[in-house]
Amino acid sequence: MSLEKKPGRRAFIRAAAAASLGGGVWLAATPSAETTVWQIDPSKCVQCGQCATNCVMNPSAVKCVHATRICGYCDLCSGFLQPGSPKLDTGAENELCPTAAIKRSFVEDPYFAYKIDEELCVGCAKCVKGCGKFGNGSLYLQIKRDLCQNCNECAIARQCPAQAIHRVPLSRAYFIKEAGAEENQAQ
C-alpha cells in the first residue's frame, strides 16, 4: 500500500481557482492586442451589391449612411430617384431604393433632405451608386457595429471585389465620408 497521499477533489478545485485567478490578474496586467471590428472603407467600395447578399445577418449588418455635409439636397436626387423616374416625388414608382428605406423631406424650394431608415435598409448600395454617378457621393455603406456579429472571417470581406472591408481597432471611429475621401482611407 502506498503512503503517498492522493490529491483530493477539494485541493484540485482550490488549485484550479488559484490558477484562474492568477491568470486573470496576469491577463489584466499584460497589455493585450485591442479588439478589432470589421469596417468598410468607403473610398474603396465599388458598390457591387454583395454586402446585401453575403452578410450572415439577414438583413445585412451593412447599412447606407448619409454624409449630410456633402449632400447637395437636390430635388432630382439620383440616390433617391429611379433612373428615368416619371416624376420627382415620393411615389413608389419613382423611388430607387428597393425597400423604400430613403426618406425625402422638403426643406425649402428647391432643397430636399434625405434620411436613411436603417431598419429597412438592406445595404444593397443601389442608392450609393446613383448618388456617386451623378451627385456628390454623399451616400455610402458602412458595417454597423451594433448589428455586426464580428465574425472571425467576415463573409462579405471574403467576396468583396474591391478589398474594401478591413479589421480596425474597436476604439477607432467609423470611417466617415466628408469632403475628401482620402482622409478616411483605411491603413
Stretch of residues binding other proteins (CB under 8 A), selected from 28-36, 44-52, 113-121, 141-149? 44-52
Residues 62, 107: Cα–Cα separation, whole Å: 28
Q: Does 46 bind other proteins (CB under 8 A)?
A: yes
Segment interacting with other proteins, rule: CB under 8 A, options 18-26, 61-69, 119-127, 144-152: 119-127
Q: Which does 76 bind (CB under 5 to 8 A by kind): ligand SF4, other proteins, none?
A: other proteins
Which segment (22-30, 46-54, 61-69, 141-149) binds other proteins by CB under 8 A?
46-54
Q: Return the half-sphere exposure (C-beta side, CA atoms, 13 A cut-off) of residue 183.
A: 6
Measured from the CB of residue 33, what is the shortest distance to ligand SF4 in angstroms? 18
Residues 126-145 that bind other proteins (CB under 8 A): 126, 128-130, 132-137
Selection from 54, 70, 65 nearest residue 140 by Cα: 65
List b or e across 150-165, with b for residues whose CB sees 16 or more CB atoms inside 10 angstroms: eeeebbbbeebeeebb
Q: Which is nearer to ligand SF4, 81 or 154 (CB)?
A: 154
Contact 116, 67 (CB under 8 A): no
Shortest Cβ 112–other proteins spacing (Å): 11
Examine residue 181 and tell whether it contacts other proteins (CB under 8 A): yes
Grid coordinates standing for 175? 470611417
Look up residue 13 and give its three cell numbers: 478545485
Residues in contact with other proteins, counted by CB under 8 A, come to a total of 38
Q: Nearer to ligand SF4 by C-beta: 20 or 163?
A: 163
Helix then strand count (H, E) for the chain reads 4, 6
The binding site for ligand SF4 (CB under 6 A) comprises: 38, 40, 45-51, 55-57, 61-62, 64, 97, 99, 101-102, 116, 121-127, 141, 143, 148-151, 154-156, 160-162, 164-165
Rg over alpha carbons for the chain, rounded to the nearest Å, is 25
First to last CA, the chain: 68
